[in-house]
Structure 1
Amino acid sequence: MSEQVFVNDGNAYVDTQIGVLHGDAHIYQAGPEPQEQFRVAVNYLHGGLPGLARQRIRAAVLEGGLSSAEVAYHWALAVLSGRRPSDLDDEDFAALEHALSMAGDHPSGRWWRSVGVIQCFVDAVLDVGPDGRGSPDAYAQALHAHAQLPADDRLEIENHLDQFLAHLLRDGVEQRGDEHVRVERMTGERRTRVPKFFEPDPAPPVRKVPLATPPGTAWRPVAGAAAIVLLALWTLLGALSTASVPVTLLVLALLGAGGWYSGRQLVEYAYRKSRQSAKEAELTRGERAAIAQPGTMAPQDGFSDAVTAMIQAAFSSRQPADQTRDAYWQETWGLRACLHGDLVDLYARSGTPATAIAWLVDHHADDIVRRWRAHGLAGFRRDHRPAPLTSPRYLGGLAALAGAAVIATVTLLNFRFFALLLTVGLLYAAIRVGRTGVMVLYGERRRIELDTAEYQVRWAAEKVAHQRRVAHLADRPTDVEMGRWLALDLAYFKRSVMSDCRLTSHDVVTNVALTEAAPGSARARFVGGPFRHSAYTVLLFLLTEGGVRKVEARLEFASGKFVGERRNNFRYEAIVSADVKEVGVRFDDGRPRVLSDDEAYAATRTDKVVRREALMLNLVDRQKIPVLVDHFDTGTVDLLREDPDDLVRLAKDSSGISSAVRVLEAIAVEGRDWIALERNRMYRRQPRRRAVPIPPQSRQLYGSSPVQPWR
């Protein structure tokens, strides 16, 4: 299962996503502005994390003095979201009372009207008799107020209060909500944007810098050759000076010009041939020149293997489907090996995750495959072809040397012929001694020069590709959007299953929806948020008067499709126990398998077993239904801003385990009687509170007396 952690190191508050906390893992110590803290809390609420939202809104109100109808609305939602009436304790009722009273202090606007609807629903749910049955009048009044709200507000209240309202909503209301859920869950270009959430932030490209090879002892033969040349010139010019000074100066000028131009062209020709051979070795054997390795960290474990896998995947996805496939892999082998070496050298010591350079692998794969298709991989044979030794400078240099030789020969032929022979011998010896050293020194300088220019062009192309990748990910969905889509998916799935089973809201006492990462899914998260997955395993329990209907399916998150649906029914008495505990998990072919206690103990000696928390639902037929909690290892946690224990609680909250375990534990203990006992508990725990005042101008919306005190 691949994973990526997104860390936003910018401002301490980001309103569009929940991924940034406050520079400190403990919000109460950080002392943020109440309004900013409230905005972060709203993001948590919309992202499907009401527990964190409750904490932060409470802090903003009680410690920061924040007060408005909007705050009251979201606080009430956070208190009730995903919870049944029996889940609320005295502190929750006190918070709800505070929120509803706060709305009464700001009696106007959209938020106040929505709080009024929530209040009507709370009244209707809690206005029950000893048998747990509510008042039809209260239900009708709540539904009438709910119907007056805009569609988006109605849907938000329905989704957050789904567990609290249970079977209060009527079929007509649900049918309107079904269509809204069906449409809303695929809005925001979900299909194209969700995959971007799981793509890593692209690391900026690092420029290749050629690494200079130490000259070693190459200077020694060059120095020796220079000494021999000076001796030869001293011998020749000394002999010529006794015959004619003008001739001596002319020969010296011709030798200097001819040696410079012809020698330089000859050395460049030899270097070009060697560079062409080096490029040939790079293409066919994967040999490359040394480059600087930036970064001071130790090479990351597994980085090289990860790069190998990414390169293999990138070229596999681009391979031709015809008979040229074998040639494709064979002819690109050397460049693939060089690409691997470059990426490891440039990024392995910098702390950059391998996934952050996936875009760079794709960029170079595109370039190499494009050149391969155009038969351009061997373009260096044309670009680095040695210039023919027929250039005017080379021929002019040879002519100057020939002129100097002719003049010297004619002058010294009958005068000092031995000096001429000695000069020729010394020059030949200088060439033999110094040619290797000259090629090393000159070739290294030219290699650095040409490699620097080549790497500059490559870096410029990488920067353009990086900017293009950043622009592509600019509309990556926020965590809030991911959480909202998931909540809508679960609502859609529940309503779809109820429709297939011919169940209405009156037939379902309550429902439990659990999610865990599906096998083979990718996962990603923002700092402070839960992991989001590219695919989920969804378990839905519909608790009816007659028993439990369990439906399991795989949710492909980008498309919103539920596939592989499996159903099972059992009586309440079939549930033996339900608890959250640490289990041993082994991944067989990428699929997690929860081990029994004996298996986990035995496997620790031979296999690598991961310890994970899981909700274990045990049935009488020894069947076990595990739901794994997301794990947070050291590579996925920002320890400066996050508390691992808080993250585990967050993972349980986002997966539905926190609220589900209470229901399943009660059923395991009480069996079918839990329904009647639940209603009786709700009756016995009815609190008291004052009514929220409704101004006269708004009474036509709710009636003359829309709010009744809890009795």
Structure 2
Amino acid sequence: MTEWDADARQVLITDGNAYVDTQIGVLHGDAHIYQVAGNATPEEQFRVAVNYLHGGLPDEARRRIRTAVMESGLRSAEVAYRWTLAVLSGRRLADLDADDFAALDHAFAMAEDQPSGRFWRCTAVIQRFVGALSDIGPDGRPNPLSCAEAMRCHAELPENDRVEIERHLDQFLAHILEDDAEQHNSERVRAARMAGDRRTRVPKFFEPDPAPPVRKVPVPTPPGTAWRPLAAAAGIALFALWVLLAALAEVSVLAVLLVPVLLGTGGWYAGRHLMERAYLRSRRDAKEAELVRGERSAIERPGNSAPEEGFTETVTAMIDAAFSQRQPADHRRDAFWRETWGLRAALHGDLVDLYAFSGLPAASVAWLVNHHADDIARRWKAGGLDDFRHDRATAPMAPPAFLGGLTALVGAAVISVLTLLGSQFFALLLTAGMLYAAARVGRHGAMVLYGERRRIALDTAEFDRRWEAEQTAHQRRVAWLADRPTDVEMGQWLALDLAYFKRGAMVESRLTSQEVFTHVILTEAAPGTVRARFVGGPFRHSAYTVLLFLLTGGGVRKVQARLEFASGKFVGEQRENFQYRSIVTAKVKEVSVRFDDGQPRVLSDDAEAVQRDKVVRREALELALFDGSKIRVLVDHFGAETIDRLRESPEDLAGLARESSGVSGALRVLEAVAGEGKEWIALELGRTYRRLARRRSMPSAEQTRRITVPPTPRGPHHRQAPGETPGTAVRHRRSGP
């Protein structure tokens, strides 16, 4: 769906479609990625939660999986595995609270009930990691032997499983992954992040769902008072015929029988031809008015919904953008705009009449704008916009039916004259005069009624041909969008991009994994981008501003760049270093944002300034530095037009926006840094040591349960390494009570 704000009018052109800077929002529905029916089974609800996890939204996945387990009793090794990933994804050991450890214990116990298969094996390895990292000393560092054993078990997993675990547990495992393992992982990330024909498919994500074409139906024009002169003419003609027949009856019975037949036959064929010629001339004039002034025949307006706010303006912008792309680059440009003005105005009127009142968003007819723009531009280049001027605008001068009708009229006149010339000449003159008067009186009414019937028939045939062409174009559009990426794919690509960006920044800064205590990565919509989302999911953007904070023992490394999402390129990289004491405050607040030429500008909190400018209220993570400067990361906002209120909650969507931007996870770290300064690292290690005291007092090794992890399936040519056994023994502590 399209969201149009009065203060955001810049038109952007993307793949032939016009959008209005970052306030535009395309909503894709009925994708069944994040939505299930009210009577969905626990398994279906679990699949939705897994989609959230894969899409980079672990908080929502964690909440949904917990609900499926605790309320619906869902249990399996896969549920245990996905639950552990959701709890640990994107989080550090210090971020886990008692509820998180309870969830992990529950998941580990669930996996131990089904000790076989891929998911159990992966869960067992994660349990080893949790146990090893929980076994820390007063300095906050884990036991190296336990970590080495956990890494050995991790290395036995298939590569795809290792990649998935490392991607979700990148923060959790940051200090035990060696740099060579990080380098190997980054090579896999580099290859995976552009897989799946990303360059071609990503732009399709931001294309709106094409609305099915609506058939144009002509609206009959009420005849009004046109029937009155026609009725008067019919009365005069009947009286004239009665006078003529009465006079003929006194002279010749044969003439009485022959003349009415000839008059009726001749009048029908000759009169119909003359009216057809007159109507075709008027239709040519109507086509001229459409080409020059954009005047159209009346059509029905389907639907009774109130038009979307800004629908008319959005359609205008899309038409202008579409024709801008198709205008010639030479001196004929002015002629192109001048000669297509009427057709553009008529197209605008058609789109508003057919779609504005059907409850459809303006963006859904973007494909239709491009279809007609292509057709009009092609006809203009071929010189075919005024073909109607060169066609025969009237019926043939002398078709056989018309000649036959004239012959019948002449025959009736000759018979009447020869019969009445000697005895009833006055009756002959009276009849001729009244027939002429009837023709003059009834001409206008006959043309109105005949022309309206012909207009409906010709318009219907023309509109049917147009609708069939639109149907074909719509089918092509739907087929082109068939491989549009899902939100899950978009989220996975973004996660890989951020991992690639972080690793590249560490390499450029010559930092090892052990030197980076933790990192914070934030994203926001880059200026001048388009955005789209599936029902139940966050907005995805065609470009992001990525902000990375590497927190080391010596200070903070800040790296910022713009990510062009379709190509995966990071451009405009900026670097900055500062001390911990430079961070004064970190908080999430609501700010007033105005878009100037596609650039978001945060206004001051001065009431007068806010009142003077038209603004959008948005949440932002604000980091205030000692020198008075501020670093802001804007969180996506959801306008009323971009929410499916039957299936979505604005509050839930706001939480998804904070999570997808990284603000939710970053706030706690940056608040602690702002409050504690350089001592934050030591204090954080001490807090973690004290919080994990209970887990360090778990049963001893002799009381633990021994679990044998089956080896990874090997190829037929695999040679067993010295000391390698068919099963790898992995020792796990039992979960606490």
Gaps of 5+ in 1: 24-30
Deviations 1:166-195 (A, max 9, x none): 221101111110111001111111111111
CA distance, structure 1, for counterparts of residue 389 and residue 159 of structure 2: 68
Q: 1:701 to 1:531 in 2, by over 3 A?
A: farther
Q: Give matches, 1:215-226, under 5 Å.
A: 215-226=223-234
Cα distance, 1:638 vs structure 2: 2.2
- 1:95 aligned residue: 103
Q: 1:241 to 1:370 in 2, by over 3 A?
A: same
Count of matched residue positions in the alignment of Structure 1 and Structure 2: 696
- 2:287 aligned residue: 279
Gaps of 5+ in 2: 1-21, 712-723
- 1:227 aligned residue: 235
The partner residue of 1:6 within 19, 23, 27 is 27
Task: Tell me if 1:336 matches 2:311.
Answer: no
- 1:46 aligned residue: 54
Q: 1:299 to 1:528 in 2, by over 3 A?
A: closer
- 2:414 aligned residue: 406
The partner residue of 1:610 within 603, 616, 622 is 616
Contact 2:262 2:412 in 1 (8 A): yes
Task: State the secondary structure of the residue aligned to 1:548.
Answer: strand
Q: 1:289 to 1:173 in 2, by over 3 A?
A: same
Contact 1:124 1:134 in 2 (8 A): yes
- 2:631 aligned residue: 625
Q: Give matches, 1:184-583, under 5 Å.
A: 184-383=192-391, 385-583=393-591
The partner residue of 2:732 within 699, 707, 711 is 707
Cα distance, 1:381 vs structure 2: 2.9
The partner residue of 1:651 within 639, 653, 657 is 657
CA distance, structure 2, for counterparts of residue 597 and residue 415 of structure 1: 105
CA distance, structure 1, for counterparts of residue 107 and residue 147 of structure 2: 22
CA distance, structure 1, for counterparts of residue 665 and residue 709 of structure 2: 39
CA distance, structure 2, for counterparts of residue 119 and residue 514 of structure 1: 29
- 2:642 aligned residue: 636
Deviations 1:563-602 (A, max 9, x none): 111111001111111111112222222211223323xx12
Identity score, percent = 66
Task: State the secondary structure of the residue aligned to 2:106.
Answer: helix
Deviations 1:437-466 (A, max 9, x none): 111111011111111111111111111211
CA distance, structure 2, for counterparts of residue 692 and residue 515 of structure 1: 43
Cα distance, 1:678 vs structure 2: 1.4
CA distance, structure 2, for counterparts of residue 681 and residue 604 of structure 1: 43
CA distance, structure 1, for counterparts of residue 484 and residue 511 of structure 2: 38
Task: State the secondary structure of the residue aligned to 1:605.
Answer: helix
The one-letter amino acid paired with 1:145 is C
Cα distance, 1:522 vs structure 2: 1.0
Contact 1:104 1:693 in 2 (8 A): no
Cα distance, 1:97 vs structure 2: 1.0
Q: 1:384 to 1:339 in 2, by over 3 A?
A: farther
Q: 1:65 to 1:605 in 2, by over 3 A?
A: closer
CA distance, structure 2, for counterparts of residue 692 and residue 513 of structure 1: 39
CA distance, structure 1, for counterparts of residue 725 and residue 560 of structure 2: 45
CA RMSD of aligned residues (A): 1.8
Contact 1:4 1:200 in 2 (8 A): no
Q: 1:590 to 1:563 in 2, by over 3 A?
A: same
Deviations 1:192-213 (A, max 9, x none): 1111111111111111111111
Task: State the secondary structure of the residue aligned to 2:601.
Answer: strand
Q: TM-score, normalised by structure 1?
A: 0.95
CA distance, structure 1, for counterparts of residue 77 and residue 705 of structure 2: 12
Deviations 1:522-543 (A, max 9, x none): 1111221111111111100011
Contact 1:276 1:384 in 2 (8 A): no
Structure 1 runs of 4+ off > 6 angstroms?
A: none
Contact 1:631 1:648 in 2 (8 A): yes
CA distance, structure 2, for counterparts of residue 701 and residue 482 of structure 1: 39
Cα distance, 1:311 vs structure 2: 0.6
Q: Which shows bigger deviation, 482-491 or 580-589?
A: 580-589
The one-letter amino acid paired with 1:445 is R
- 2:17 aligned residue: none
Cα distance, 1:492 vs structure 2: 0.5
Q: Which shows bigger deviation, 585-594 or 356-365?
A: 585-594
Q: 1:506 to 1:697 in 2, by over 3 A?
A: closer
- 2:14 aligned residue: none
Task: State the secondary structure of the residue aligned to 1:604.
Answer: helix
Deviations 1:401-434 (A, max 9, x none): 1111112111111111111111111111111111
Contact 2:328 2:336 in 1 (8 A): yes
Cα distance, 1:384 vs structure 2: 5.9
CA distance, structure 2, for counterparts of residue 33 and residue 282 of structure 1: 57
Cα distance, 1:284 vs structure 2: 1.4
CA distance, structure 2, for counterparts of residue 224 and residue 117 of structure 1: 98
Q: Which shows bigger deviation, 628-637 or 493-502?
A: 628-637
Task: State the secondary structure of the residue aligned to 2:186.
Answer: helix
Cα distance, 1:639 vs structure 2: 2.3
The one-letter amino acid paired with 2:24 is E
Q: Which shows bigger deviation, 514-523 or 122-131?
A: 122-131
Deviations 1:646-686 (A, max 9, x none): 22122111111111111111111111111111112222122
CA distance, structure 1, for counterparts of residue 88 and residue 349 of structure 2: 56
- 2:6 aligned residue: none
Q: 1:495 to 1:697 in 2, by over 3 A?
A: closer
CA distance, structure 1, for counterparts of residue 709 and residue 614 of structure 2: 69
Q: Which shows bigger deviation, 73-82 or 110-119?
A: 110-119
Cα distance, 1:42 vs structure 2: 0.6
The partner residue of 1:167 within 148, 152, 175 is 175
CA distance, structure 2, for counterparts of residue 653 and residue 296 of structure 1: 38
The one-letter amino acid paired with 1:66 is L
Q: TM-score, normalised by structure 2?
A: 0.92
Deviations 1:367-414 (A, max 9, x none): 111211222212223556212221111111111111111121111111
Contact 1:127 1:710 in 2 (8 A): no
Cα distance, 1:693 vs structure 2: 4.1
CA distance, structure 2, for counterparts of residue 60 and residue 299 of structure 1: 40
The one-letter amino acid paired with 1:311 is I
Task: State the secondary structure of the residue aligned to 1:564.
Answer: strand
CA distance, structure 2, for counterparts of residue 444 and residue 694 of structure 1: 87
Q: 1:692 to 1:187 in 2, by over 3 A?
A: farther
CA distance, structure 2, for counterparts of residue 112 and residue 693 of structure 1: 14
